[in-house]
Amino acid sequence: MPSSLIVYFDYKSPYAFVAKMPIYQLEKDFELEVEWRPYSLCIPDFLGTVDVEENGKIVGGTRNEHQWRRTRYLYMDARRLATDTGQDLMIKGPARVYESRTAHIGTLYAQKQGIFRVYHDLVFDRFWKRKLDIDDVDAVAAIIAEVGGDAAAFEVYFAGEGQRDHDTVIEQANEIGIFGVPSFVLNGELFWGNEHLPSVRNRLSA
Amino acid sequence: MTKTIIAYTDYKSPYAFLAKNATYGLFDDFRAEIEWRPYTLDIPSYLGNAEVDVNGNVIAEERNAHQWRRVKYSYMDCRRRAERMGLTVRGPHHIFNSTVAHVGMLYAQRKRVFMEYHNAVFERFWKRELDIEDPQVIANVLKEVGADITGFEAFLDGQGVAELEHIMEDAHEHGVFGVPSFIVDGQLYWGAENLPLVREHFAV
């Protein structure tokens, strides 16, 4: 029986960005069809909130010292991981805490339209260059149009069915026990984090 | 030239426990000088707080749904890793304070019985056979591994705690927030999964 691999990602996670290419490679090496599912991380649940003024100045929020150290580390580490895996990726620091729900509804729409991969690549790439606001419905619609989709139809989907589809995906993920990205569900077994890619690969080879 | 690596650990972290032997491997393979430092995790600051009874029923909690999923995953993942290593990891009933055991570590280092102490505390704690919060229990471990414990009580009441605080402040200046963490050539790595990258610092 062919293996089933579900990958949970979030555009606003630098680790999910760095994991994308190695996952494409897994697909290629094992002739797998990965099921990509968006998981909109609720950053305040684990890294607190940060209030930022328009000029970028931090003026408040609930992020504690531990969470600040963790956040600084994860950006440094994701950049190091990109370099160590031979990827030339631009990973700019965040301007604020993003939600990514809008871009994830865009993912679900792109999947229905058969334009997932180009959409996925473009959103990740532009977001991390800070050239795309993943929470702005017009900006996401423009990407849909750029990759060959129908922006107006996306906006209709976004206003209704897309919201419900998104929430269903998140609820299912939470039931499985997902809490972070990238997460991998390989034949029912859950793995969280880029460091598990070798374990996933080993199991696929077995 | 011998290279030094700083390894931060916490007895109450199953991930730190599972990384212990692989960290020793840096000495075995590269003769690396490992400077072990205790880092007392403040778990409620990132995983909230919870207490369960002997049957595993939650009897008190200040933990959101995200934090619960994270905690459940962590124990599943640790057990999966421990199984492969032939080690035992039993889930705790409450969040332990590892301060006493960490002061014990500093004392063991002074008395040159660190490794024996480190192994005994980690292994017994994760079998739930050792209360790391009890000064008398920790003193007994120190004695058992060959340390003269006449000065331990005074060390725990004064200098030991001050030293631990100093180590924590220094760790925070380096950006440490979790364990196991490693600092080598000024680079910080968090998590045992980074040990292959850490090893590259020694292999060159």
Q: What is the pLDDT of residues B167-184, one digit of tens each?
A: 999 999 999 999 999 999
Q: Closest partner residue to B42 among A66, A179, A191, by Cβ?
A: A66
- List chain B residues with CB under 8 Å of A179: 66, 69-70, 73
- List chain A residues with CB under 8 Å of B177: 66, 69-70, 73
pLDDT at A8: 98
Distance from the A141 Cα atom to the nearest Cα atom in chain B, whole angstroms: 30
Q: Name the pLDDT band for B127 (thresholds 50, 70, 90).
A: very high
Asked if B66 lies within 8 A of A73 by C-beta distance, the reply is: no
Asked if the model's pLDDT at residue B4 lies above 80, the reply is: yes
Give the residue carrying structure tokens 């024996």. Answer: B116
- List chain A residues with CB under 8 Å of B191: 195
pLDDT at A94: 81
Q: Name the pLDDT band for A111 (thresholds 50, 70, 90).
A: very high
Give the residue carrying structure tokens 């004695």. Answer: B143
The strand pairing partners of B51, in sequence order, are B60, B94
pTM higher than 0.95, yes or no?
Answer: no
Residue B94 per-residue DSSP state: B
Q: Name the pLDDT band for B15 (thresholds 50, 70, 90).
A: very high
Residue A132 and residue B122: Cα distance in Å, rounded?
48
pLDDT at A2: 67
Which of helix, strand or coil describes residue B182? Answer: strand
For chain B, say whether A129 makes contact (Cβ under 8 Å).
no
Among chain B residues, CA nearest to A41:
B66
Distance from the A72 Cα atom to the nearest Cα atom in chain B, whole angstroms: 8
Size of the A and B interface in Cβ pairs below 8 Å: 57
Asked if B197 lies within 8 A of A180 by C-beta distance, the reply is: no
Residue B122 and residue A1: Cα distance in Å, rounded?
42
Asked if B65 lies within 8 A of A174 by C-beta distance, the reply is: yes
Q: What are the structure tokens assigned to A115, written together?
A: 């334009």
Distance from the A45 Cα atom to the nearest Cα atom in chain B, whole angstroms: 7
pLDDT at B61: 72
pLDDT at A1: 61
Mutate to test the interface with A, among B73, B78, B169, B176 (most CBs of A within 10 A): B73
- List chain B residues with CB under 8 Å of A174: 65, 69
What rounded mean pLDDT belongs to chain A?
94
For residue B178, the number of C-alpha atoms closer than 13 Å in the C-beta half-sphere is 17
Among chain B residues, CA nearest to A191:
B77
Asked if the model's pLDDT at residue A123 lies above 80, the reply is: yes
Among chain B residues, CA nearest to A181:
B70
pLDDT at B1: 64
Q: Where does chain B have alpha helices with state H?
A: 14-30, 44-47, 65-85, 99-110, 114-125, 135-144, 152-157, 159-173, 195-203
Distance from the B96 Cα atom to the nearest Cα atom in chain A, whole angstroms: 18
pLDDT at B46: 75
pLDDT at B55: 72
Query: What is the percentage of chain A residues whose pLDDT exceeds 90?
Result: 84
pLDDT at B203: 86
pLDDT at A165: 98
Asked if B191 lies within 8 A of A84 by C-beta distance, the reply is: no
Q: What is the pLDDT of residues B132-156, one digit of tens each?
A: 999 999 999 999 999 999 999 999 9
Q: Closest partner residue to B177 among A69, A178, A179, by Cβ?
A: A69
Residue B121 and residue B100: Cα distance in Å, rounded?
11
